[in-house]
Amino acid sequence: MKIRSIILRAAVALSAASALTPADAQQPAAADSAATGKPRVFIDCERCDDDFLREDIAWIDHVRDRAVADVHVLVTAQRTGSGGTEYTANFIGLRQFSGKQDTLSYFSRVAESSDQTRRGISAVLKLGLVRYAARSPVASTLMISGRAEGPGVAALPVRDRWNLWVFRTSARGFFNGEKTSKAGNLFGSVSANRISPAWKTNFGMNINYSENKFTFNDGRKFNNYSRGYGATSLIVKSLGPQWSVGQRASVSSSTFLNQELAARVAPAIEYNFFPYAESTRRQLTLQYSAGLNHFRYEDTTIYNEIRETLGDQALIASLDVKQPWGSVSTSLEAAAFIHDFSKQRLVFFTNLDWRLIKGLSVSLSGNASLIRDQLYIAGGELSDEQVLLRRRQLATSYRYFVSAGLSYSFGSIYSNVVNSRFGGTSGGTVFFF
């Protein structure tokens, strides 16, 4: 009875609170851009801290859809040579600001904290939005400040004692377990990269080890181990705004693929149908490579080979577009061994996010492969445990993955308010019965 009494009192309290809510809830709806003087801005950024931006840029109306915005800010990101990230903000004027566009960038450093990054992005967004706010009633409430470097001070050329080289090393482990099973994974890597307008150079090495241990009801134990290592290099030379040549090289080992050693060297050439300078917004490339491979297998393959040296070639078409209506990333790869063109592979990948109409968006992601080049498949039969735990790659003629989604939102167009109450979590899922 006491529990029922408490629940009843809580319900009454919630009902009373909800009765007071409409008056407050109507305020944002009434406060449209005409009444507040604030321009409506749709910030389209997947990697931004939305709550922070709402609080830090409070002199605009944050809206949820481009269809009701006065300004659409499309933020794209790409890695820099130093290991940081270049965030490019494209300001697209709509409605009364139609035709007024701008582009600004923020470069984050590799050692930068997430707070420094979000403040840097916010500063760039503020700077770009000033031109729109200056043409709205909110202009009279803004104040601009800055720091002068001093009269007559000229920018000095940058001196880099590392000559643009960036080195990185990492190691991590993953462990979990319960009464009848345990799992662990160790991974380490080192890399050296140098990127300039004329050259792009990447070197990397990695090693991994994983194990799984199981205990069955009858007391039997089963252990599964896998290991692998790899080293890669990429050297690219720019040949103008749309052409480039390069060479890839790799060495790897994988128990899963029955490869004690797999080495490949392949020169390549690439053409971009758009200038590389526009790569943050659009890129359509066609790349051709011809390579030489050497394989040494752990077990004799189904083709009765323990080692072999083969040539191959590959053609890759890739499209990456980020526009106000959404984004699409698609690639099609065709590859074959030169000694036998029937040993081939065709791989298609796509990722699409499309805003159809106000509030309605569709997402599609998937890949599909036609596989005829599994020369590494080991001969002999695999045990049930090996098959279930995927200790070895199994022979297949195809592989696919598809994910699709549709979302629709309606109601208030504003998203200015931040409320973090009851936002804590234990990291797990709590079920109530």
- Cα distances from 109 to residues 82, 87, 103, 277, in angstroms, run 7, 11, 20, 21
Selected residue with higher pLDDT from 381 and 90: 90
The answer to whether residue 148 scores a pLDDT higher than 80 is no
Where does CATH 2.40.160 sit in the chain? 165-408
Beta carbons within 8 Å of 284's beta carbon, 6+ residues apart: 272, 273, 274, 317, 318, 319, 320
pLDDT band (50, 70, 90) for residue 367: very high
Q: What mean pLDDT is predicted for residues 372-385? A: 85
Q: What mean pLDDT is predicted for residues 243-254? A: 95
How far is residue 147's CA from residue 156's CA, in Å, rounded to a whole number?
A: 18
Structure tokens at 105: 């960038």
Q: Are strands 282-297 and 165-177 parallel, antiparallel or unpaired?
A: unpaired
301, 377 in Cβ contact below 8 A? yes
Lowest-pLDDT range of 27-36, 59-68, 163-172, 291-300: 27-36
Where does CATH 3.30.160 sit in the chain? 32-140
Starting at the edge strand found earlier in the chain, the sheet holding 340-357 runs: 165-177, 181-195, 199-215, 221-238, 243-254, 259-272, 282-297, 307-323, 326-337, 340-357, 360-371, 398-408
- Cα distances from 381 to residues 307, 372, 388, 392, in angstroms, run 20, 20, 13, 11
pLDDT band (50, 70, 90) for residue 35: low
Three-state SS at 11: helix
Domain 165-408: give its CATH architecture. Answer: Beta Barrel (2.40)
Question: Cα 422 from chain centroid?
Answer: 29
Strands in 20-112 per DSSP E: 40-44, 61-62, 71-79, 85-93, 101-108
Q: What is the pLDDT of residues 289-331, one digit of tens each?
A: 999 999 999 999 999 999 999 999 999 999 998 877 888 999 9
The answer to whether residue 29 scores a pLDDT higher than 60 is no
Q: What mean pLDDT is predicted for residues 72-90? A: 84
69, 41 in Cβ contact below 8 A? yes
Task: Give the mean pLDDT of the chain.
Answer: 82
The three-point CA angle 180-390-225 to 5° equals 60
Predicted local distance difference test score (pLDDT) of residue 157: 53
pLDDT band (50, 70, 90) for residue 158: low
Q: What is the pLDDT of residues 331-346, one digit of tens each?
A: 999 999 999 999 999 9
The answer to whether residue 192 scores a pLDDT higher than 50 is yes
Predicted local distance difference test score (pLDDT) of residue 13: 40
Q: Give the CATH number of domain 32-140; options: 3.30.160, 3.30.300, 3.30.70, 3.90.550.
A: 3.30.160
Beta carbons within 8 Å of 104's beta carbon, 6+ residues apart: 88, 89, 91, 124, 127, 128
Name the H helices within 33-170. 33-36, 50-56, 114-133
Predicted local distance difference test score (pLDDT) of residue 433: 45
pLDDT band (50, 70, 90) for residue 31: very low
Q: What mean pLDDT is predicted for residues 139-150? A: 67
40, 33 in Cβ contact below 8 A? yes
DSSP string, 315-363: EEEEEEEEETTEEEEEEEEEEEETTEEEEEEEEEEEEEEEEEETTEEEE
Which residue reads 């507040």 in tokens? 36
Burial of 321 (0-12, 13-18, 19+ CB in 10 A): middle
Share of the chain above pLDDT 90, in %: 40
